[in-house]
Chain A
Amino acid sequence: MADTVLDIRNLRVTFTGGAKHVRAVDGVDLAVAPGEVVALLGESGSGKSVTLRSVLRLHPEAKTRIAGSIVAAGVDVMALTGAALADFRGKTVSMIFQEPMLALDPVYSLGQQITESIRKHEPAVSAEAARRRAFELFEQVRIPSPERRLDAYPHEMSGGMRQRAMIALALACNPKVLLADEPTTALDATVQVQILLLLRELQRNLNLSMIFVTHDIGVGVEVADRIAVMYAGRIVEIGAVRDVIRTPRHPYTIGLLSTRAQGGRLSGNRLTTISGSPPDLANLPPGCAFAPRCASASAACREAAPAPVDLGAGHVVRCIHTAITA
């Protein structure tokens, strides 16, 4: 893809802090075009958050081995250090966290946290101008009585309002790429829908590129142009939403979709009903990580990690049995 704002290639992240090394991300390739939304879908523990955090290089350096290349808006993220890395974070790429209550500083008002961000990246902006911008951001994310809410502390707001404030913070410096890590998981169903609609509207109006992490297929279908299915640190299937949903070709994706069909609901199903359990990332099998749970697995599956198979139109599957699954 020539036209990409975010290009992740062969990303590998290993945590070396514990007794055993945890290979949380194992060769992820992901490119996002301008204005495109990619849903990163997978069970809890499959490495979605680790992938996202790598884009901002948020992992503790001393305890993490990270390899591969990440280019965001022409910036080689892996080469950034010190002040250049700090300038990049929140300005070119910014992040929305799953739990705003935990991700916001409890003793700073929301207004302070937003103006701090603006003035960090644009030192020329005066305190009043930054406050005005924070006010406009609050209006943009539709927080009622924004003037008053700017002076509120995170604990004084409801979960939905907090997530709106978090979105305002993420948008404060007009980033090109937004990374949303399960932004609606911690919210009530009705609030969840409102936040999803808001995010999609903002994404379209601002022509943002976005990686939207979720473990809810329904949510992924709702917001994304493409879906990437992650399993044990690898993207096992990626393609346009309709291709992945209508003609899934990886046994794991097929399993996910059939559990959802059995549930009979459009959204809200968690991906927990495939038999077996996800592998131990500190002790991965040499071949396909899904093989132990896979009905179609053969000896070859257990020998080497399957190479990507391009099925056309950007639909790529890491499985050697695509002939069976077709």
Chain B
Amino acid sequence: MILYATKRVLLTLPIMLGVTIVCFALVHLAPGDPLISVLPPDASQSIKEQMMALYGFDRPYHEQFLRWLWRVLQGDIGTSIRTGRPVSTEISKAVGNTLMLAALATCIGFLLGTLFGFVAGYFRDTWIDKTASALSVFGVSVPHYWLGMVLVIVFAATLGWLPPTGAGPGGSEDWKWDWVHFKYLILPAVTMSVIPMGIIARTVRALVAEILSQEFVVGLRAKGLSEVGIFGHVVKNAAPTALAVMGIQLGYLLGGSILIETVFAWPGTGLLLNDAIFQRDLPLLQGTILVLAMFFVVLNLAVDVMQTMLDPRIQRA
């Protein structure tokens, strides 16, 4: 198992290298001058060249890449052109906020998704199944920024139960785990949870239906297990796949939904990306994408290793 995990970790190294190359290339593939947003349009050629040299943009690409990679390895992923603060500072704040949002959304989505999925799988082709399936189709297909706005209209504007946008009275700098702040998290989290809920419900329904149709369930019944006992077996059979799907969904949500974070003005990575794009803050964009991509790689690794640990049929060579 440890051998497998080590092998799997080593295998991700080339992927990570690839990710860094793509992130580096982004800046140079993007149309326009990397300094376009910093310099006034009428800046003289000599100032331009000075700035290019300052940021190192005048060196050959491979040299730039290696210098950049070296800095990245030391934890320095650049400075935001807009704010002048280190990109890592900007990102870590945003990641924290997105993490809260994504974790809560995944919890809600996973709980409801597995619940709907199990119920639908157990009562296949009854009205219960059809209702649960309809809900999950709704979850997958509804545009979530639209759902977000509907929720804001209903629960914030009309009922006034929850705040419409933002991250609390003191903004994102001043987060506390109390109701005053937590209620800002609810609407975006619920909106976001609809996506994993639908996908997990559909996956679990198909899984449970498939597992229940297998002969070993008859075998379990034949040896005298109660339906509750059999349920335990169904859960253990479904767990590796269900958890893998959940992990991947968490990964997507960690990327931060640009749309949802924008609708709710939630200061996470999605909003950060949004700002970086619209303000042409290339170091920030590059750094954010790099961090998010690495997150994905590591998460995939974790999901993979976990699935292998949970499923004895996958060879642990």
Q: Does A69 contact B (CB under 8 A)?
A: no
Given contacts A97-B215, A99-B215, A120-B229, contact A106 B313 (CB under 8 A): yes
Q: Do B224 and A90 touch (CB < 8 A)? A: yes
By a CB distance below 8 angstroms, the chain A residues around B219 are: 97, 103-105
Q: Does A83 contact B (CB under 8 A)?
A: yes
By a CB distance below 8 angstroms, the chain A residues around B221 are: 56, 58, 89
By a CB distance below 8 angstroms, the chain A residues around B295 are: none
Q: Do A102 and B216 touch (CB < 8 A)? A: yes
Q: Do B223 and A89 touch (CB < 8 A)? A: yes
Q: Does A86 contact B (CB under 8 A)?
A: yes
Q: Do B311 and A107 touch (CB < 8 A)? A: yes
A55 to B, closest residue via Cβ: B222
A172–B218 CA distance with the chains assembled, in angstroms: 17
By a CB distance below 8 angstroms, the chain A residues around B237 are: 105-107
Q: Does B48 contact A (CB under 8 A)?
A: no
Neighbour of A121 across the interface among B218, B220, B224, CB < 8 A: B224
By a CB distance below 8 angstroms, the chain B residues around A95 are: 222
Interface size on A, residues (CB 8 A): 32
Q: Does A94 contact B (CB under 8 A)?
A: yes
The digit string for B62-99, where 1 denotes a CB below 8 A from any CB of A, is 00000000000000000000000000000000000000
**Contacts of A156-214 to chain B: CB distance below 8 A:** 169-170, 172-173
A83–B224 CA distance with the chains assembled, in angstroms: 9
A52 to B, closest residue via Cβ: B222
The digit string for A110-137, where 1 denotes a CB below 8 A from any CB of B, is 0000001100110000000000000000
Q: Does A23 contact B (CB under 8 A)?
A: no
Neighbour of A87 across the interface among B224, B236, B310, B313, CB < 8 A: B224
Q: Does A315 contact B (CB under 8 A)?
A: no
B232 to A, closest residue via Cβ: A116
Q: Does B6 contact A (CB under 8 A)?
A: no
Q: Do A86 and B226 touch (CB < 8 A)? A: yes
Q: Do A56 and B222 touch (CB < 8 A)? A: yes
Neighbour of A105 across the interface among B220, B222, B240, CB < 8 A: B220
Q: How many residue pairs, one in A and one in B, have C-beta atoms under 8 Å apart?
A: 75
Interface size class of B (residues with CB under 8 A): 20 to 34
**Contacts of B178-233 to chain A: CB distance below 8 A:** 214-216, 218-226, 229, 233
Q: Do B236 and A107 touch (CB < 8 A)? A: yes
Q: Does B312 contact A (CB under 8 A)?
A: yes
Q: Does A21 contact B (CB under 8 A)?
A: no
Q: Does A91 contact B (CB under 8 A)?
A: yes
Shortest distance from the beta carbon of A102 to any chain B beta carbon, whole Å: 4
Shortest distance from the beta carbon of B195 to any chain A beta carbon, whole Å: 28
Given contacts A106-B237, A153-B312, contact A88 B216 (CB under 8 A): no
Q: Does A155 contact B (CB under 8 A)?
A: yes
Neighbour of A58 across the interface among B216, B222, B225, B240, CB < 8 A: B222
A97 to B, closest residue via Cβ: B219
By a CB distance below 8 angstroms, the chain B residues around A172 are: 223
A56 to B, closest residue via Cβ: B222
Q: Do B218 and A86 touch (CB < 8 A)? A: no
B218 to A, closest residue via Cβ: A58
Q: Do B233 and A94 touch (CB < 8 A)? A: no
Q: Does A109 contact B (CB under 8 A)?
A: yes
By a CB distance below 8 angstroms, the chain A residues around B214 are: 102
The digit string for A268-308, where 1 denotes a CB below 8 A from any CB of B, is 00000000000000000000000000000000000000000
Neighbour of B236 across the interface among A86, A89, A108, A117, CB < 8 A: A108
Q: Do A107 and B225 touch (CB < 8 A)? A: no
Q: Do A155 and B224 touch (CB < 8 A)? A: no
A102–B236 CA distance with the chains assembled, in angstroms: 16
Please give 12 more A-B residue pairs, beta carbons under 8 A apart, in addition to A94-B222, A169-B223: A89-B223, A90-B222, A107-B236, A107-B312, A109-B312, A116-B225, A117-B223, A120-B225, A120-B229, A121-B224, A155-B313, A172-B223
19 A–B contacts from the bound complex (CB under 8 Å): A56-B222, A58-B221, A86-B226, A89-B221, A89-B222, A97-B215, A97-B218, A103-B215, A104-B219, A105-B220, A106-B313, A107-B240, A107-B310, A107-B311, A108-B233, A120-B223, A120-B225, A120-B229, A172-B223
Closest CB pairs A-B (n = 9)? A90-B224, A90-B223, A103-B219, A102-B215, A89-B224, A153-B312, A95-B222, A117-B223, A105-B216
